[in-house]
Structure 1
Amino acid sequence: MAKPARQTASLSRSPGRPREFDVAKALDKATKVFSERGFHGTSIADLTHAMNLAQGSIYKAFEDKRGLFLAALQRYRATRAEKLRKVIGAEGSGLAQLRRALGFYVQSSHGEEGRRGCLVVTGATELSAFSRDMARDVAAAFDRNEALLMELVRRGQKDGSIAAHIDARAAARMMLCLTQGMRVVGKTGRTRADMQAVVDLALTAIM
């Protein structure tokens, strides 16, 4: 798959003096702030400081804080989905692939990244209470994650690495709740061993 071209935004600081910035890098910086503080807890001042951009530049590129958040969310979801696909890979049993998928969330739920939190869980879920469109987007994101987990469970049932009598949909939903819960608990400061122990125990329920 071809890599997307590097995006830049050209903004006028003064007549004849355009200012360019790397949109992807700017969005990644905004993502960190939104993930840590939530949408409503993040101010424009927080964003200008983190992104090293003038307030006017942010408004010109993204219209408002909500526009910036939605752009950051779109990039965050696409980036995370691609990383997860690579972690899962194509080798091994369904159980092995599921274990790798859950390990991806273990890695994201401890240390500095764990304390920062998940943009979907922290920010998008917060916004969904006030926006019907955002509520649909969050539900769709969770549905996609659940569908992927269910595919891995069914793959494991087909190759015999996961018990055939298990309800694949219920198992996938359990794993979805587990992974999202890990992202929340991870904000309180947990070790990798803490999170891995939870995953290991959950997997025994489907073997």
Structure 2
Amino acid sequence: METIITYHSRMIKTASQSPRPGRPREFDSESALDMAVLRFSEYGYHGSSISDLQVALGLTAGSIYKAWGDKRGLFVAALERYIEVRTQSINGCLAACSCARDKIQALMEQYVQLSVGKSGRSGCLVVETAVELAISDLEIAERVSVQQKSREMQLRRLIEAAQAEGSVRADIDSVAVARLMLAVQQGMRVLGKTGTSPKAMNSMVHELMRLLD
């Protein structure tokens, strides 16, 4: 299976020479957004002030405002970055498996790995956003909804492909089970915040896969 992309601290690339007075500091925007993903995932939108973000990103407030407009602009960019990286990781995970049932199991096991240890404590930015901003920011809530529906549809197609190849029971409701799997995935990310053990996570996946037999 392809190595899962997680968000851990990376150094921001600055110019090799000190910038001239009055010029904005040069930096790697993707690395900065990865730092923002970590900060927002761990402390939430409202729990992250511009001062906090300056420290997390290693940037001045002026550089943040110039690049993203304001804190919300940075948050939206970080959310898009997170979704992009997770999509790449999921696609790599699925590409490493040949049959649809194996793809389902590999994807669920990937969520176990994401939900334990340091990455588990950091949490999922999509889940954090849904909990914190779904009511107060309708535009961001819609973006999260689109993402969740996309993940649900992906799971449904995998289930139906597995049914077609005969590795999953033909009589299960692919729509309902896809929603159940999505709920388990997101639930594991929440449980990971409290330090739930890998053994407990793996047992959930084991029982879920048994439903497909």
TM over 0.5: yes
Quote the residue 2:156 is aligned against.
150
Q: Secondary structure at the match of 1:14?
A: coil
Contact 1:94 1:162 in 2 (8 A): no
User: Which whole-Å CA distance do the structure 2 matches of 1:44 and 1:18 have between them?
Assistant: 17
| Consecutive unaligned residues in structure 1, runs of 5 or more | 1-7
| Equivalent of 2:62 in 53, 56, 59 | 56
Quote the residue 1:14 is aligned against.
21
Q: Does 1:115 align with 2:94?
A: no
Quote the residue 1:5 is aligned against.
none
With normalisation by structure 2, the TM-score equals 0.88
Q: Does 1:197 align with 2:188?
A: no
Quote the residue 2:178 is aligned against.
172
User: Which amino acid counterpart does residue 133 of structure 2 have in structure 1?
Assistant: L
User: Which whole-Å CA distance do the structure 2 matches of 1:31 and 1:90 have between them?
Assistant: 27
Q: Report the CA distance between 1:18 and its aligned residue.
A: 4.1
Q: Report the CA distance between 1:191 and its aligned residue.
A: 2.3
Quote the residue 2:6 is aligned against.
none
Q: Does 1:162 align with 2:168?
A: yes
| Consecutive unaligned residues in structure 2, runs of 5 or more | 1-12
User: Which whole-Å CA distance do the structure 2 matches of 1:117 and 1:91 have between them?
Assistant: 26
User: Which amino acid counterpart does residue 187 of structure 1 have in structure 2?
Assistant: K
Between 1:81-90 and 1:104-113, the stretch displaced more is: 81-90
Q: Count residues with an aligned counterpart.
A: 198
Quote the residue 1:44 is aligned against.
50
User: Which amino acid counterpart does residue 34 of structure 2 have in structure 1?
Assistant: D
Q: Does 1:28 align with 2:68?
A: no
| C-alpha RMSD over aligned residues | 1.8
Give CA-to-partner distance per residue, 1:20-60, whole Å, 9 cap, x none: 10000000001001000111111111111111111111111
Using the aligned pairs only, state the percent identity: 42
With normalisation by structure 1, the TM-score equals 0.90
User: Which whole-Å CA distance do the structure 2 matches of 1:59 and 1:30 have between them?
Assistant: 14
Q: Report the CA distance between 1:92 and its aligned residue.
A: 2.6
Between 1:117-126 and 1:50-59, the stretch displaced more is: 117-126
User: Which whole-Å CA distance do the structure 2 matches of 1:206 and 1:174 have between them?
Assistant: 12
User: Which whole-Å CA distance do the structure 2 matches of 1:168 and 1:159 have between them?
Assistant: 14
User: Which whole-Å CA distance do the structure 2 matches of 1:91 and 1:138 have between them?
Assistant: 27
| Equivalent of 1:131 in 137, 160, 164 | 137
